[in-house]
Amino acid sequence: SVYARLVLCKTYRLDDDGRILTPEELLCRCIRSINYTHNLAHAQMDVKLRSFICVGLNEQVLHLWLETLCSCTDIINKWYLPWSFLRSPCWVQIKCDLRVLQQFSFTLQQDFEFPAAYRQLDVLSSVRDMLMKHHLFSWDL
């Protein structure tokens, strides 16, 4: 029923139309999630970067995220020095190298570097991610 579908969407925070998220939408959700969880743990920027890479590898979209970020000249100009690799056309080579990694299945923890007191065992989030990623969710209930 429609009601059951809406309840499940709210429970697992799926989009109401049950569609698969684009790499850009995954990027936004990843950044929001990492900022939220890592700010609670007072994590440094390098820890956030490594967690970002872990999520990108898990979702097999790291190369697409790099392309999205490098296409935003405002972000690149603000955060990277003129001699940075990402401000040169060579970032395309990195993207090609990262594309090979999408062939592999990763299950890296984004909170691996947190002290034990800050690690969150978010079962709901894990179940939601599994349902979305592996298309195990059926709307015909």
Q: What is the rounded CA–CA span in Å between residue 141 and residue 138?
A: 7
Q: Pick from 126, 135, 127, 140: which is nearest to 20 by CA?
A: 135
The pTM of the full predicted model, rounded to 2 decimals, is 0.69
Q: How many CA atoms lie less than 13 Å away from 105 in the CB half-sphere?
A: 3
Q: What type of residue is 23?
A: P
Asked if 4 and 119 count as a contact pair (C-beta separation under 8 A), the reply is: no
Owner of token pair 């969880």: 37
* Backbone phi, psi, residue 18, to 5°: 70, 20
Three-state secondary-structure class, residue 45: helix
The DSSP secondary-structure symbol of 24 reads H
The DSSP secondary-structure symbol of 41 reads T
The DSSP secondary-structure symbol of 21 reads P
Q: Count CB-CB contacts under 10 A for residue 99.
A: 15
pLDDT (tens digit, 0 to 9) for every residue of the chain, 141 residues total? 556 666 666 566 565 555 667 888 888 988 998 999 888 888 889 999 999 999 999 989 999 999 999 999 998 999 899 999 888 888 999 999 999 999 998 889 888 887 766 665 455 566 666 666 665 555 543
> How many angstroms separate the first and last alpha carbons of the chain?
7
Domain ranges, ordered by start, for the chain: 22-134
